[in-house]
């Protein structure tokens, strides 16, 4: 757009945490003499930090999509469709989307017709998919075009990462980004690798980009090993103390960067809320993440507020915040037992009426023979899929298991057949819950019903149709 001195700064998640920080503002002022800070996806509650910037003579433009506090920051401008009095109707945008619209407005105001905003749609797609905002209206249209833009991206870092993951040279889906691509970037922040996600976006040298991608993939392997170790430790803790109402565990063997991933896995395996913390330092602080199972009618913030209020006036938590289904918290280790008791009491008392076998809604009954290239072309045209636009779920009854193979990581690959149908179909089940496999044993000859998504499996330049199993039953 013509600005000559633009300095990027991405907070280090494990050191600085989230949000605006006065220390970062001071550093930017000292090192770059900046006169303007534009926040992205943060700052709506950074009132004190904005005032600190003003005291240094720095203007601040806050762009965010999170809900504000009682008063807005005293910034030059607060661009947020969820600020409470915005008439844009764009509340479904994520932080990346808000920034994209600010760039559109700047382009118009500066009459910078030489700049093509479509060049940013690859970034728009990644940000919107991974922040799990609803894929409706503008989000849906721009993500669809953004996926096409990402497939042919000219950013060396993003392009080489696509190549290394076997995602180049073909159309991309939102699931490719959410499941295979973006987690490699997210792991950089989780593990504190020294490489920031923004580095991969901005690198302009092919050689430097290849060096960065090597570090990205090595860091992801470290994340996977750390998560595996934490999963094993979590299983050990839960065998010693089976959960009641909710899972609340902490260990000094957990890495702070993976506790959210561990919590997510535990909610899937046990169908219970999971609050998982890493015990750190001499102070024995517990820094954790909380997750709620899909479809559970409850609120994690309500649960933690309940745990922090009691007649004896003893608060369990030092701080907490987030969303109804995903939140963070911090407390002292010596209060962990009390915290577990209160959280378990909250969910036990309020959710006793909840069915132990929740109903899963699906979209259609199908036969194996229905899954053909014509069907997949129709399914591809329906995309992109994501929040508020879920991937269609199909039920396939009376499937005979022809083959069972265990893959690395505990995943399963099945080959399924149906009576009177010549075609067989490969089905993959990632991280099947052990409890489910006890209830419905899988062996050659078993007859099961399957709930699954349909997808293309790309391998060595060819593609085949496969099912992605979500659940099975007799």
- pLDDT bracket for residue 311 (50, 70, 90): low
Tell me which residue has tokens 């933690």. 304
pLDDT in tens, 131-189: 888 999 999 999 999 999 999 999 999 999 999 999 998 999 999 999 899 989 988 88
**Cα–Cα–Cα angle for 250, 430, 415, nearest 5°?**
155
Q: Is a pLDDT exceeding 60 seen at residue 460?
A: yes
Query: Greater confidence, 354 or 272?
Result: 272
Give pLDDT, residue 204. Answer: 93
Q: How far apart are CA 140 and CA 151, in angstroms?
A: 17
Question: pLDDT per residue over 57-83, tens digit each?
Answer: 999 999 999 888 889 999 999 999 998
Check: CB of residue 328 under 8 Å from CB of residue 322: yes
Average pLDDT for residues 98-116, to the nearest whole number?
Answer: 94
352 confidence band (pLDDT: 50, 70, 90)? low
Average pLDDT, the chain: 90
Asked whether residue 224 carries a pLDDT value surpassing 80, the answer given is yes
Evaluate whether 335 touches 275 at the Cβ level (below 8 Å). no
pTM: 0.85
Percentage with pLDDT > 70 across the chain: 97
Q: Rounded mean pLDDT of 42-46?
A: 90
Q: Can you tell me the distance from the alpha carbon of 385 to that of 144, in angstroms, rounded to the nearest whole number? A: 10
**Percent above pLDDT 90 for the chain:** 62
Average pLDDT score over residue span 417-426:
91
Q: d(Cα 303, Cα 314) in Å, to the nearest integer?
A: 16
pLDDT band at 313 (very low <50, low <70, confident <90, very high): low
Tally DSSP H helices, then E strands, for the chain: 15, 14
- Write down the pLDDT at residue 132: 85
Main-chain phi, psi angles of 67, to 5 degrees: -75, 140
The span from the first CA to the last CA of the chain, in angstroms, equals: 60
Beta-ladder partners of 389: 386
């Amino acid at each position: 757009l013509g600005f000559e001195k633009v300095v990027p700064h991405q907070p280090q998640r494990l050191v600085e945490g989230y949000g605006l920080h006065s220390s970062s503002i001071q550093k930017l002022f000292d090192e770059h003499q900046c006169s303007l800070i534009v926040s992205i996806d943060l700052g709506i509650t950074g009132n004190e930090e904005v005032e600190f910037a003003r005291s240094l003579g720095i203007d601040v433009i806050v762009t965010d999509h999170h809900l504000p506090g009682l008063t807005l920051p005293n910034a030059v401008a607060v661009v947020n469709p969820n600020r409470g009095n915005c008439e844009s109707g764009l509340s479904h945008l994520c932080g990346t989307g808000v920034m994209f619209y600010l760039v559109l407005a700047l382009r118009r105001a500066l009459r910078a017709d030489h700049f093509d905003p479509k060049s940013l749609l690859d970034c728009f797609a990644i940000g919107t998919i991974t922040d799990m905002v609803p894929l409706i209206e503008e989000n849906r249209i721009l993500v669809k075009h953004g996926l096409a833009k990402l497939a042919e991206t000219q950013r060396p870092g993003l392009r080489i990462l696509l190549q290394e993951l076997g995602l180049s040279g073909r159309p991309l889906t939102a699931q490719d980004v959410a499941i295979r691509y973006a987690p490699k970037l997210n792991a950089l922040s989780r593990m504190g690798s020294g490489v920031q996600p923004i580095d991969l976006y901005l690198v302009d040298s092919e050689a430097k980009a290849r060096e960065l991608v090597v570090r990205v993939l090595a860091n992801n392997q470290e994340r996977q090993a750390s998560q595996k170790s934490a999963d094993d430790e979590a299983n050990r803790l839960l065998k010693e103390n089976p959960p009641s109402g909710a899972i609340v565990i902490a260990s000094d063997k957990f890495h702070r960067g993976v506790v959210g991933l561990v919590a997510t896995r535990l909610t899937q395996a046990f169908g219970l809320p999971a609050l998982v913390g890493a015990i750190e330092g001499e102070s024995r602080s517990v820094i954790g993440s909380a997750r709620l199972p899909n479809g559970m009618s409850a609120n994690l913030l309500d649960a933690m507020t309940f745990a922090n209020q009691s007649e004896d006036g003893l608060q369990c938590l030092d701080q907490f915040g987030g969303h109804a289904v995903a939140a963070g918290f911090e407390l002292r280790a010596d209060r962990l037992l009390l915290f577990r008791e209160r959280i378990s009491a909250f969910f036990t008392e309020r959710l006793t009426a909840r069915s132990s076998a929740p109903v899963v809604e699906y979209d259609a009954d199908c036969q194996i023979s229905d899954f053909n290239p014509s069907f997949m072309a129709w399914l591809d045209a329906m995309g992109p899929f994501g929040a508020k636009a879920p991937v269609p779920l199909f039920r396939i009854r009376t499937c005979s298991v022809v083959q069972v193979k265990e893959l690395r990581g505990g995943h399963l690959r099945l080959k399924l057949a149906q009576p009177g149908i010549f075609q067989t179909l490969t089905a993959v089940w990632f991280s099947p819950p052990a409890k489910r496999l006890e209830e419905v044993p899988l062996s050659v000859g078993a007859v099961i019903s399957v709930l699954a998504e349909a997808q293309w499996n790309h391998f060595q330049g060819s593609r085949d149709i496969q099912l992605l199993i979500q659940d099975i039953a007799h």
